[in-house]
Amino acid sequence: MGVRLSGGVRLFLLFAAHCVGTINIMGVMAFAPAIQRDLGLDTASFGLLVAAYYGAQPLVALPGGWLVDRIGVRAALALSMAGVSISAGFFAVSAGGTMAASLLILAGIAYSLVNPATSVGVVTWFPPDWRSTMMSVKQAGVPAGGLIAAIIAGLAGPDAWRVSAGAVAVAAALAAVLAVVTPGGGAPAVARGPVVVGLLTVLRNRALMRVCLTTFLLNTAQGAFYAYLVLYLVGPAGLSPAVAALIFGATHVVSAIARILWGLLADRVWRGDGPRVLRIIAFASCLGFVGLALGAGLGAPAAAAAALGLGMTIAGFAGVAQGAAATAAPRAQIGAAMGVFMVITPLGSVFGPSIFGGLIGLTGGYLVPYLVLAGVTLVVGVFVLRK
């Protein structure tokens, strides 16, 4: 009973770290009009706030992963959540764009520890035959955080962003305390040796690099999917903004569920073979993007069904992917491996929307761009993950 309880506390800590960190930045987006008004920002300047947060993460992902390998899971998560708490607390009383951007940079740096720390936590605290499932459960904190942020913004009203940021600061502080008091378990396998040598070893890991290339390409498709989904549903699909927003939210719900189901499939059916499940996800995503390409002509229900299908596939791969990356690395280098993973994978979210938007401008519609995304996911399934 005690073992199960401690395992549940550990898993909740990993989930909560993702959830609180996501609420923090998604809350900024959800309260965008009020934040922009109160801080005196134009649209471009507000965009720089978000860019400051996301831009900080890949810059410190490698040293962050190295740090996790040396100080351990609980210390890294306590440090991360303390940073998020400090950032959110001062953001709640910020008076200008420069201060707000600086605080979001701090938040991005702090959150950069979460992925490597939680991945090492899964490997250290849970048996290998549950690795993909536990990775998926803790990753479900990301869409859960997005949903909570949207609910807070909807219920609290547009002017409550300072109160919301203060609440995030308290939640992050509690998560930091939880990290300190969470019972340990397993052998930490702390890394030693020169940093550069360890990093070069990770970069020469062909299995890990194949997973990173896979997630870069899948994240490219995912980034484009979410960036233009509402515009597509309101435009070519002919849905109202309210219905489009509802479908957008529903994709996050099915994404959270699918992450766990894909993890169970990898662990219970194929004994931890994450790449095989990623291949299935890639092929299914290909069909989903073909569905969106044709959905406008087939009618709004078909477009909505394709969007929900992609919520389960292209938006549901993260947990299995992190499990595959962690499995590909030696135990003492998992933090560094996840640092590399978190440098390469998010770049897809930079390239995907930009390329997709450019293709819309060139072709005048969504048919070709969605077929290109179908091709990208097909390449992943046929070539990148081929054994």
Closest CA to 24 of 76, 71, 90: 90
Q: Quote the pLDDT of residue 5.
A: 60
Q: Quote the pLDDT of residue 271.
A: 80
Closest CA to 383 of 282, 293, 314: 282
For residue 325, what are the CA distances in angstroms to 186, 202, 275, 284, 359? 20, 11, 9, 21, 32
Q: Quote the pLDDT of residue 43.
A: 66
Which letter, b or e, does each residue of 202-212 get, where b requires 16 or more Cβ atoms within 10 Å of its Cβ? beebeebbbbb
The CB density around residue 40, as the number of other CB atoms within 10 Å, is 10
| Cα distance between residue 123 and residue 323, in whole Å | 9
Q: Please provide the DSSP assignment of 268-299 as one string.
A: IITTT-HHHHHHHHHHHHHHHHHHHHHHHHH-
Evaluate if residue 113 carries a pLDDT over 70.
yes
| Cα distance between residue 149 and residue 260, in whole Å | 21
Q: What is the mean pLDDT of residues 116-129?
A: 86
* pLDDT tens column, 14-69: 999 999 999 998 888 778 778 888 998 876 677 778 778 887 887 887 788 888 88
Of the pLDDT bands very low, low, confident and very high (cuts 50, 70, 90), residue 377 is: very high
Question: From the CA atom positions of the chain, what is the Rg in Å?
Answer: 20
Of the pLDDT bands very low, low, confident and very high (cuts 50, 70, 90), residue 186 is: very low
Evaluate if residue 107 carries a pLDDT over 70.
yes
Q: Quote the pLDDT of residue 195.
A: 54
Q: Quote the pLDDT of residue 198.
A: 58
**Are 190 and 332 within 8 A, CB to CB?**
yes
* pLDDT tens column, 299-345: 889 999 999 999 999 999 988 998 888 888 777 777 778 788 888 88
| Cα distance between residue 215 and residue 274, in whole Å | 12
| Cα distance between residue 311 and residue 246, in whole Å | 13
Q: Quote the pLDDT of residue 109.
A: 93
The CB density around residue 229, as the number of other CB atoms within 10 Å, is 21
Whole-model pTM: value is 0.76
Q: Convert 314-332 into a string of H (helix), E (strand) and C (coil).
A: CCCCHHHHHHHHHHHCCHH
Q: Quote the pLDDT of residue 200.
A: 67
The CB density around residue 93, as the number of other CB atoms within 10 Å, is 11
- The half-sphere exposure of 4 on its side-chain side, counting CA atoms within 13 A, is 1
| Cα distance between residue 269 and residue 79, in whole Å | 37
Closest CA to 166 of 152, 154, 150: 152
| Cα distance between residue 351 and residue 90, in whole Å | 32
Q: What is the mean pLDDT of residues 62-80?
A: 88
Is the C-alpha dihedral spanning 268, 119, 337, 115 positive or negative?
positive
pLDDT-above-90 percentage for the chain: 37
* pLDDT tens column, 212-269: 999 999 999 998 888 788 888 888 998 887 788 788 888 888 988 999 999 899 888 8
**Residues of the chain by 3-state class (helix, strand, coil), percent to 5:** 85, 0, 15
Of the pLDDT bands very low, low, confident and very high (cuts 50, 70, 90), residue 189 is: very low
Q: What is the mean pLDDT of residues 270-294?
A: 92
Task: Name which residue leads in pLDDT, 5 or 259.
Answer: 259
Of the pLDDT bands very low, low, confident and very high (cuts 50, 70, 90), residue 124 is: confident
Q: Quote the pLDDT of residue 267.
A: 86
